[in-house]
Amino acid sequence: MTLEKELTDETLKWLKKIEDKLRNLKASDDDYLKNIRAYILDSKYFLERKDLIRAFECVVWAWAWLEIGEIEGKLKFLE
């Protein structure tokens, strides 16, 4: 497997996971959610342009916002 394929697959895997998790969002702070969605959109934008490092970086940032929001009680999910 090439590095390009591996990075693309990892980015797509984590994008799917975060989108699935957001479907179970019960309550949210709009600022956190806005940032998460912006990073998801940015990740997809960079994927389309084959800028794989930035695409992966954006999905990592989206997860960081999600996890921090959850820890801080700004995002609540259905179990």
pLDDT 10s digits, 13-70? 999 999 999 999 998 889 999 999 999 999 999 999 999 999 999 999 999 999 999 9
Distance from C-alpha of 43 to C-alpha of 50, rounded to nearest angstrom: 10
- Domains of the chain, first to last: 3-77 (1.20.1270.90)
64 SS3 class: helix
Which tokens belong to 74? Answer: 């700004």
Per-residue model confidence (pLDDT) at position 29: 84
* 18: amino acid identity, one letter: I
Instruction: Give me the long-range contacts of 13-17 (CB less than 8 A, separation at least 24).
Output: 14/56, 14/59, 14/60, 14/63, 15/40, 15/43, 15/44, 15/59
